[in-house]
Structure 1
Amino acid sequence: MFSRVRSSWPVLGAWLLVAAASAGYAALCCAVFWALGQPWWWGLVPTAVSLVGAEVFQWLRPGAASPSRDTVLIEPGDAPRLHAIVDRLCALSAQDKPVLRRYDADRPNAVTYTPRGEPDTVYVSRGLLERLDNRELEAVLAHELAHLTHRDQRVLTFATVMGTMQWALTVPGMVLLGLGWIDVRLCVLAHRCGHAWEPGFDGPQGKLEVPEHHLARPFPRWLAIAVLVPAGLARGTLWVSSIVVFFPALIVALLAYIAVSFPGRVVVLRLIRRRELAADRAAAELTGAPSTLAAALTRMAEPVPESPDQDLRGLHAVSPLAILPFPRPGKAGNDRPRRTDGLWSRLRSSHPPVAVRVSHLQRMSARLSRT
């Protein structure tokens, strides 16, 4: 019992830090409302809204963020070894079998993700299938299945929204959507007057466009002149006010948000690293071979040259759920400890160093050998 409590304390302690950061932000909001002469308890409303928003975000994730667009489905006939390993692990852990997809990269890696409205999916790189033997591949896949069992995607979404005041970004986001909506309506009027104005704002899915059904409904000439002049004045006012007032205020607000949310981001990243260690521990318990997972991590962390035109933007978005972090553009991606790695690098990392993970697994292997 004591060993179970001791092993779960790092994750619980990280959650307590996230809760403390969220409580601190709530207190700050209460103080702001009190200073403005409003009821202090209004400061609790954003926190309550963020709880609901975290769940809503699960359903409103833009489809473009899904990594499936850069991957191919792996059928049982395409990789029987891979499917046999996953079938065995799912039988041992009593969980449903996820969809398996492959992306084209030499670097060995794997990541779990549940696209909106789709089943749980495990993405594996071509290099993972080519470079790891059966036992190592089993250990890596057990790690990814542990992420699914722990529902880490949902957990990390809630932690990020609660611990970093992410709800504060909805205010400028709603203003931008409102400005874009007005701009599109003015462009619609211009199109019906015979002038092809293009919207200047972006929406959640990219550049806003004038709906096609408006293009075939022109105004009479006498009405077009009467509509175009006030529409042009309104659009000019919209752009001037946006450039002079809104965008400078947005920049200042974003800088303030980055500064205020920094402590929360640090504790959320700590939670992400602890969840990664928890997935390592669960994979080692499922396979009964901590040393195999340690060997797989060591091999996967070795530097591998990447093709320069490789596009992994969709996978970079879900890097916290990968067994190793995806390298930043222009980086070699070597996860071995370096003398230049300081406190700042460790704080902003989404994964513990491989050396730390291997050390945890070696101690776990030693405990198992004594029992």
Structure 2
Amino acid sequence: MMFVLMTLMLTGLGSLVGYIFGRFDIGLIIMLTISVVICIYSYYGSKAAAFRAHDVHLVTEAEEPRLYGIVRKLSEQSGLPMPEVGISETMMPNAFATGRNPENAAVVATRGLLHMLPDDELEGVFAHEMSHVKNRDILVMSTVSTMAAVLNYGSQYLSYAILAATAVGNREDNSLRGLGYIMAILLSVFVPIASALIQMGVSRSREYLADETGGRMTGEPRALARALRHIEEGCAKTEADYVEKAYADMWISNPLTGKNRTLTSRLFSTHPPTEERIKKLNDLADKLDAEKKKISDKKDLGIDPNYKSHLY
């Protein structure tokens, strides 16, 4: 709703400026500039905003040795700088990562997550979050969001421009007027839907990538799979208590989606269905097990596992 309202406001502003100066291109440039500035501000301010929204407080190793130790271990394994570690004192079991780059990153756990998960599952969760940092997903999604915003604002503005031109054009040519109305409708309705589908599709692909990267980081994808199931079940119990809907998609498991989702909700969801994520993680675990067995068999035969024949 806020996105639609912002689109209408910026479109109206651009149209007003264009009308005043008699130049639609001036209004378009101003509108697009504002949208880019908003997205850049969101990129640089996302960490502080997320902390404020969930009352996150940073912790030291002395305060949270279990969590801090897991994050430090993963940081060393991945070759990433040690991120800031935060706690949100909510009983909803969940976690997220934020920060515009690895040097500015932070990972956050809820108190509910720390109470619910054993160490191996907690490690799987934060391997996923560290993978978001490693894969620079904050930058990727900020770029995609900027492109979607520019596309949406631009399409809305152009649809108004076409309607205005059609209204003051040749009133006797009904076919051209009809074509103008059709183009305006297509721009204002279908372009935003298409851009949203693309944006959500990219987001889901980054979640799958973080699952795989995290599973390989720990070597135990099944632990993350178990954690995802436990988190989804825990979030279902606390869904009614979660009020920060604008930030729901930043968690490892969206606390508002639930298990039963329609095709439409899945297409417009930032996260893949948990069952599909679990299946992919179990498939990855089988693949890693097969690779380990192959290496073990070579060692049993006295063959260097790193040796590759050049006879073929």
Distance of aligned partners of 1:104 and 1:307 in 2 relative to their CA distance in 1, 3 Å threshold: farther
Asked whether 1:350 is paired with 2:270, we answer yes
Are 1:370 and 2:301 counterparts?
no
* AA of the residue aligned to 2:197: V
Q: Does 1:137 align with 2:122?
A: yes
Native 8 Å contact 2:253 2:271 kept in 1: yes
The verdict on how the C-alpha distance between 1:47 and 1:357 changes in structure 2, with shifts beyond 3 A counting, is farther
Cα 1:154–1:261 shift into 2, 3 Å: same
Distance 1:358 1:311, change over 3 A: closer
Q: For structure 1, which segment, 294-303 or 257-266, has the greater mean C-alpha deviation from structure 2 after superposition?
A: 257-266
Letter in 2 for 1:151: R
| Displacement of 1:146 | 0.6
Instruction: Give me the whole-angstrom Cα distance separating, in 1, the residues matched to 2:48 and 2:213.
Output: 31
Q: CA deviation at 1:164?
A: 4.4
Q: Which whole-Å CA distance do the structure 1 matches of 2:46 and 2:74 have between them?
A: 31
1:54, 1:157 within 8 Å by CA — same for their partners in 2?
A: no
The answer to whether the 8 Å contact 1:103/1:126 transfers is yes
Q: Normalising by structure 1, what TM-score?
A: 0.56
Q: Which residues in structure 2 correspond to 1:1-371 (within 5 Å)? A: 53=37, 56-57=40-41, 61=45, 65-68=49-52, 70-114=55-99, 119-165=104-150, 168=153, 257=188, 259-303=190-234, 304-306=236-238, 313=244, 316-327=245-256, 334=258, 336=259, 338=260, 341-371=261-291
Q: Could you give the per-residue CA deviations for residues 216-235 of structure 1, whole angstroms, max 9, x where no partner exists? A: xxxxxxxxxxxxxxxxxxxx
Structure 2: how far apart are the matches of 1:136 and 1:268?
Answer: 29
- Contact between 2:36 and 2:150, CA under 8 Å: does it hold in 1? no
Number of matched residues? 239
State the 1:122 CA deviation.
1.1
Equivalent AA in structure 1 for residue 268 of structure 2 = R
What is the one-letter code of the residue matched to 2:131? A
- Distance change >3 Å, CA 272–CA 301, structure 1 → 2: same
Name the SS for the 1:285 alignment partner: helix
Query: Percent of aligned positions with the same letter in both sequences?
Result: 28
Q: Which one scores higher on RCO, CA 8 angstroms, separation ≥ 6?
A: 1
Deviates more, 1:124-133 or 1:154-163: 154-163
In structure 2, list runs of 5 or more residues that go unmatched: 1-22, 158-183, 292-312
Q: For the structure 1 residues 268 and 59, does the alpha-carbon distance in structure 2 shift closer, same or farther, using more than 3 Å as the test?
A: closer
User: Which digits, 9 at most, give the CA deviation of each residue in 1:28-58, with x for residues without a partner?
Assistant: xxxxxxxxxx9x9x9x979996996587435
Q: Which runs of 5+ in 1 are unaligned?
A: 1-37, 173-252, 328-332
Structure having the larger proportion of residues in helix = 2
| 1:119, distance to aligned residue in structure 2 (A) | 3.0
Tell me if structure 1 keeps the 8 A contact 2:100–2:138: no
User: What amino acid maps onto 2:108 in structure 1?
Assistant: Y
Counterpart of 1:168, as a letter, is: Y
